[in-house]
Chains A and B, each alone.
Chain A
C-alpha cells in the first residue's frame, strides 16, 4: 500500500503539468497511467520514437518529448501500465498493474483521463475493416504501422486533417476523404470570426493542412450519409453526396472520426455533477475555477473536464495544482492570484478558438441520433430502434433503457454508446439533456477478474 498527498490518474499533458507544478511546491505526488510510457494519446511513444519518426509527426509531437523529460525529472512517482479500477471516498484508489493489485491513499485526486473519440454509429460500423482515425494514428505513433493499401476516411475534425497529413508524409495512400461536416457548419463557424484569430498559429496550421490536401490528388467528397457493407468484413462503402447522388466503392479499410468527447467514466461513477454542453454535444463535469468537481478534493483536468486540446490541458493541470496548494495552505493568496491570472488569460484564448472549431466540426445529426437500423451498443448489439422503443416507455431514461435493452451493459460499460443512448432519450422525450442525464457508472471501472477482486479484499482495511 502506498500513500501520497496527491494522486494523479493519467500521464498526458494535463496530468504531467499538474504533477510538475505540485512537485515545484514539494508536494508528494503519484501519477498512474495505463500506457507503457508517459505522454497520453497526443504524445504517445514520443519519448521512445526515433528522431526521423518524430520529425515527420510534427513540431507539436516533438514538444511532447521535452515535456515528458521534465515530468520524468520532476520527482513525481510514476507508475506505468497501472489502472485505477475502484476509487473510494477519502481517497483510496485500488490499482492494478498487470496482475498485481495495490491501494494508494491520497488527500486529493486529479483525474486527467483525457478524451475518447466520439462514438460514430452508422450502418456497418461494427464490421472488421472499420476503425477510428484516432486508432489508426495510435498505430502510427505507438506501433509504427500504416494502412497497407489506399485507405478511405469518413468524418471531420482537426484529427482527420492531421492524420491525413502525417500518413501521406510516411508514404501512405488515401483512397478518398468523405467529408461529413455539413456545409452549413462553415457559416455557423464564421459567426465566431473574431475567435478564429485568437489562436492564429493553430488556424494557420489547420488551413495549411487543408490547403495541402486540396492541392493533392486525394479525392475530397462532401457527403451527408455513409454506410459500411460486407459479409463479415468491410467490402463496400456506400455514401450519398451532398448533391444527393449515391455511390458504392470497394474498400478494405475505412477510418471514421467525428471529434472527441470527455472521458467522464470516473467522474460519473464518483457522483460528480455534470452539465450538457450543447456547443460540444457531450456531458462535461461541473468544475470550479481551479478544476475541482462538485466533490471536495477531486479534480478533473485536461480534455476530461471539457475538450480544449493539449495546450489548454497543460494549463488546466497547472490551475488544479494551484487549487490544491491553496486548500493545503501551501501558497499565499497573492501568489496564487498572480499565477492563476496568467494561466487563465492563456486558457481564455484557447477556449475562444474552440468555439470556432466546435462550430466548424459539429457532427451531422445522423451520428448523434442514428437511424433505427444502426447498431448503437456495439457490445450487446442493440439497435437504435430498440433504444427508441425503450425510450417510449413512460418515465424511461438512459438507465431504464439500459435495463430494458442491455445497451451499455457489455464489456465497454457504455463508453461507446452512453452518449448516444442519452441523445436518443432526449430526442424522443423532448426533455433537455441535463434532465435526461447519463448512464449510472459503477466500479469496477476497469476489467478485473473475480479472483483479483477476492484478493483485493486484503487491501480493504484499515
Chain B
C-alpha cells in the first residue's frame, strides 16, 4: 500500500510479523511496516472481528494496536522497530498471553 523513499545511508533491521521475516528501516514506527506488508492490517476488532489498519498514525485512534514482543494492545504507530522485534497482528479481544 505504501513504499519507502530510500537513501543510500539507510540502515535496516529484521523484524517478524506473524512469524514472517520482514525488513524495516531502523527507527521507523511499526505501523509503517504494517502498511507495507500484506494484508496491510494491524488487528481485528473486539466486537465484530472486522480487520483494521493504522488510521491516524499519531497515537489517537488505537486502530493500529498489535502484540509487540509479547505485550498486547500496543499502538504500533508509537513504537519504533528494533532488531528481532516480534509483531503479531491482534485478533479480537486482547488476552493475557498471545
In the assembled complex, B85 has its CB within 8 A of some CB on chain A: no
- Chain B CB count within 10 A is highest, among A129, A132, A145, A415, for A145
Assuming the contacts A126-B52, A145-B35, asked whether A116 and B60 have C-beta atoms less than 8 A apart, the reply is yes
Interface size of A by CB at 8 A reads 42
Q: Is the CB of B32 within 8 A of A148?
A: no
Determine the chain A residues whose CB is within 8 A of the CB of B51 once the complex forms: 128, 232-233
Determine the chain A residues whose CB is within 8 A of the CB of B53 once the complex forms: 128-129, 131, 233
Q: Is the CB of B7 within 8 A of A50?
A: yes
Cα(A41)–Cα(B45), bound, Å: 27
Determine the chain B residues whose CB is within 8 A of the CB of A146 once the complex forms: 2-3, 5
Which chain A residue has the least Cβ–Cβ distance from B59? Answer: A34
In the assembled complex, A447 has its CB within 8 A of some CB on chain B: yes
- Chain A CB count within 10 A is highest, among B7, B57, B80, for B57
Determine the chain B residues whose CB is within 8 A of the CB of A139 once the complex forms: 2, 32, 35, 57
User: Contact mask B30-49 → A, CB, 8 Å, 1/0?
Assistant: 00100110011100011110
In the assembled complex, B56 has its CB within 8 A of some CB on chain A: yes
User: Contact mask B7-36 → A, CB, 8 Å, 1/0?
Assistant: 100000000000000000101110010011
Which chain A residue has the least Cβ–Cβ distance from B80? Answer: A36
Determine the chain B residues whose CB is within 8 A of the CB of A138 once the complex forms: 57-58, 77
In the assembled complex, A252 has its CB within 8 A of some CB on chain B: yes
In the assembled complex, A117 has its CB within 8 A of some CB on chain B: yes
Q: Is the CB of B56 within 8 A of A135?
A: yes
- Chain A CB count within 10 A is highest, among B7, B52, B55, for B55
In the assembled complex, A142 has its CB within 8 A of some CB on chain B: yes
Determine the chain A residues whose CB is within 8 A of the CB of B65 once the complex forms: 411
Q: In chain B, residues 40-98, which have Cβ atoms closer than 8 Å to a Cβ of chain A? A: 40-41, 45-48, 50-63, 65, 71, 73, 75, 77-78, 80
Assuming the contacts A145-B5, A145-B35, asked whether A128 and B57 have C-beta atoms less than 8 A apart, the reply is no
Nearest CB of chain A from residue B39's CB, rounded to whole Å: 7
Determine the chain A residues whose CB is within 8 A of the CB of B32 once the complex forms: 139, 142-143, 145
Of the listed stretches A203-211, A269-277, A298-306, A378-386, name the one at the interface; the rest are far from the partner chain. Answer: A378-386
Q: Is the CB of B61 within 8 A of A416?
A: yes
Contact of B48 among A143, A170, A263, A381 (CB under 8 A): A381
Given A145-B3, A416-B56, 18 new contacts (CB under 8 A): A34-B78, A116-B56, A117-B56, A126-B50, A126-B63, A128-B39, A128-B41, A135-B56, A138-B77, A143-B29, A145-B5, A147-B2, A252-B1, A379-B62, A381-B47, A412-B62, A447-B73, A449-B71
The 8 closest A-B pairs by CB, nearest first: A128-B53, A135-B57, A143-B32, A411-B62, A138-B57, A412-B62, A143-B28, A381-B47
